[in-house]
Structure formats: structure tokens, C-alpha cells
Amino acid sequence: MPGALPAPVVGRPALGRWVFLLVPLLVLPVPFFVNRYIQYVLNLILVYVLVGVGFNIVIGNLGQLAFANVALFGLGAYASGILVVHAGWPWWTTVIPAGLVGALAGALASLPALRRIRLFYLAIMTMAFGELMRWIYIRAEPLTNGSMGLAVPPPVLLGVRLSSDRSKFYVFLALAVLAVVLTSSLLRSRFGRAFMAIRDNELAAAAVGIPTDRYFILAFAWSGFVVGVGGAMYTALVGHVTPEAFNLLELILHFAVVMVGGLASLAGSVIGAVVLTTTPELFRGFPGVQELVLALLIVGVLLFLPRGLVSLLSLRLPLFRERYYRE
């Protein structure tokens, strides 16, 4: 088949999928053993888990070159920030609205694809959308405080102020686990199969009765929701939302998370989030080196490991082959 990746690894997992829930459990005590900086990085990883999971749905599972992810991330971040700063809502109540804003914008971003705009045209258009949003953030000063950025007070959860990174960690961890579990449920159903059917052969997908337009919108909307929630987490983590945070460099980071981790793989999104958050941190303080390392990483993966790092694991452990059905 044209443009196909090398065949994925096969096999029914010997162990249940419960082993994946072990990871969050194992990670629970970690905040008590790390310093503030590492705690911050861990929190950032969790934000990018949502970014990766969300983005992967559109470019991995649905297989579309839609680069609106950063725009959705930014919208979620600003939505949360604006509600906290201007409407006085406590942070935890802005999480769902941020997701909804992302979902709505995601659905909007899918519309050109419905008009059969695909491949590079869709990529260019969604990139333009992202840059346009950034310009809007800069110009919508009353709401967003323009280029100076929106300063957001520490997040509040049910009356409790989450001022330390450690307290944020547990909330973020819960959100990340939820994002992965819910997305996994979605993918292991006729919805997930429909997304991938559209990716693999859109004509055949229609021929088996899948209303492709509807599922396009759905995939983009769910992706937008997850990424929007990630944006709200970002606002809570960083406390300062600026337009510069959502530029094309950020887009490449999102790509890297998905491609280095593994396209269309939930485990891959998590792995990608870990690798792509920690690696730039290693080079913080050396402007330009971060980008060079990132570029090398992406090129390396594209040339030698097109299925991402998760494919290394799949070779050893059939566990990592994702199944898209329930039995």
C-alpha cells in the first residue's frame, strides 16, 4: 500500500492491560524524593502526555496532516487563564471549559478536511490557523494582556490552593491517567476503528458504512478536548500564558512527542512526552542547542525508527501492540 510504514508488531498480549495502570501507581511516591526543579519537569511531562495523546488521535489514528494542535493547546490555556483572571473562576472549574473550547476549535479545524482539503494543503492551512490565533492573542489585549502575557494566580482545587509543584503533580497525574484511559476506551471501540479505517482507506471506510465526515469531526473534537485540558494544565503549571509559547517551534515539539514516541500509540505518546520534555531541559541555557538536538532526534527517528521508540518495546514485549477491540 502506498506510503505505508513497516508492518506493526503482532500478537495478543499475554498480560492484561492492567499492567499499564501500574505505572501511575509506581510513580505516586516520587514527589517525596525529588527537588522542586525535577518536580516541575515531571509536571511538564504530564502536560505533554495530554498534548501527545490528543495530537496522536488526529495525526496517528485518523492519519491527517492537521497541524492545529498548538492552536488548540493555546486556546485551552488562554480559556483557562481568562476564566480565572477575568471571571474569577477557581482553576479546577476551568478545566472542562478549556477542554470544550479545544473541542469546538478542533471541530472547526476539521471543516476544511471535510471539504476534501488534505495532505499538504491541510497542513499549511492549519499552520496558518495557528499563527493567526497567535496574532489574535497578541491583539486581544483586554482579554489576554497581549504580548506581556496573562499572569494567572496559583490554581485552586475545591478550595485548596495548589501552590507547590508537588500538589499540582497529583492533580496532573489524575488528569493524565484519565486522558489515557478514556482515549484507550475510545480507540478500542467502533469509534477508534472508524478513525483508523478512514486513515487506511477512506473509500473503503465509506463502503463499510462509516459516515466519514461525522467521524472526522469527532476525532478532531476529542483530540481538541484532550489538548485543551492540557492547555489548562499548562496555565496552572506555568502561571503565565504568553502568545510566544504557542508558535511554530512549539508545533515541532508536539510533532516530536508523537513521532519520536510512536504514531497512533498511546504508550508512544507517553514515552514521547517523557523524552521530549526531559531532553530539552538537559540543554536549557544553551540557546539553539535544544533545537539542534530536537532536529537530530526527529531526523534520526524518521530515518531509522519510523514507528517511534515504542516500536523498540514492541519487538520485545507483545504487550505494546495496541488492540482496538474488546474481548
Partner 1 sequence: MLPQLVVSGLAQGVLYALVALSMTMVYRATTVVNFGHGDLVMGGAFVVYVLVVYAHLPYLLGGLLALTILFALGVGIHQGLMRRIMTGPHLAIAMMALAVGYGLRGGARVLWGREVLPFPRIFPDHAWMLGDVVVTSDNLIVSGTVLGLMAVLFVLFNVTRTGRLLQAVFQSQRGAALVGLNVDAVHRVMWGVGAALAALGGVLLAPITLLYPDMGVWVLVRGFAAMTLGGFGTLHGAVLGGLILGVVELVLGAYVSTAFIDISAYVVVIAVLLLRPDGLFGQQVVVRV
Partner 2 sequence: MALLDLADVTVRYGGLTAVAGVSFHLDPGEVRAIIGPNGAGKTSLFNAVTGHAPMASGTIRFRGERIDGLAPHMVSAKGVRRTFQNGGLFGELSALENVLAGLHTEVPSGFFGVLFGLPAARAVERSATARARQLLDLMGIGHVADQPAGALSGGQQRMVEIVRALATRPPLLLLDEPAVGLAPAVREQLLGVIRRLVREEGIAVILIEHAIEFVMSVSDRIVVLNEGKVIAEGTPEEVPKNREVLEAYLGH
Q: Which residues bind partner 2 (CB under 8 A)?
A: 1, 4-5, 7-8, 10-12, 182, 185-186, 188-191, 193-194, 196-197, 199-201, 203-212, 218, 264, 323-327
284: number of CA atoms within 13 Å, CB side? 8
Angle at 41 between CA 274 and CA 148, to 5 degrees: 120
Rule CB under 8 A: say whether 117 interacts with partner 1. Answer: yes
Q: What are phi and psi of 267, to 5 degrees?
A: -60, -40
Rule CB under 8 A: say whether 207 interacts with partner 1. Answer: no
127 binding partner (options partner 2, partner 1, none; Cβ < 5 to 8 Å by kind): partner 1
Using CB under 8 A, which of 125, 219, 238, 273 touches partner 1?
125
Rule CB under 8 A: say whether 214 interacts with partner 1. Answer: no
Report the b/e string of 149-172 with b at 16+ CB within 10 A. Answer: bbebeebbbeeeebeebbbbbebb
Rule CB under 8 A: say whether 28 interacts with partner 1. Answer: no
Contact map string, positions 270 to 289, toward partner 1, x by CB under 8 A: ----------------xxxx
Closest CB to partner 1 among residues 33, 120: 120
Report the b/e string of 300-310 with b at 16+ CB within 10 A. Answer: ebeeeeebbbb
In angstroms, the CA 55 to CA 53 distance is 6
In angstroms, the CA 146 to CA 142 distance is 8
16 binding partner (options partner 2, partner 1, none; Cβ < 5 to 8 Å by kind): none
Nearest in space to 53 (alpha carbons), one of 173, 247, 222: 222
Beta pairing, strands 150-151 & 240-241: antiparallel
Closest CB to partner 1 among residues 115, 316: 115
What residues line the site for partner 1 (CB under 8 A)? 3-5, 59, 63, 65, 112, 115-121, 123-125, 127-129, 131-132, 135, 139, 202-203, 247-249, 252, 255, 259, 263, 286-296, 298-299, 302-303, 306
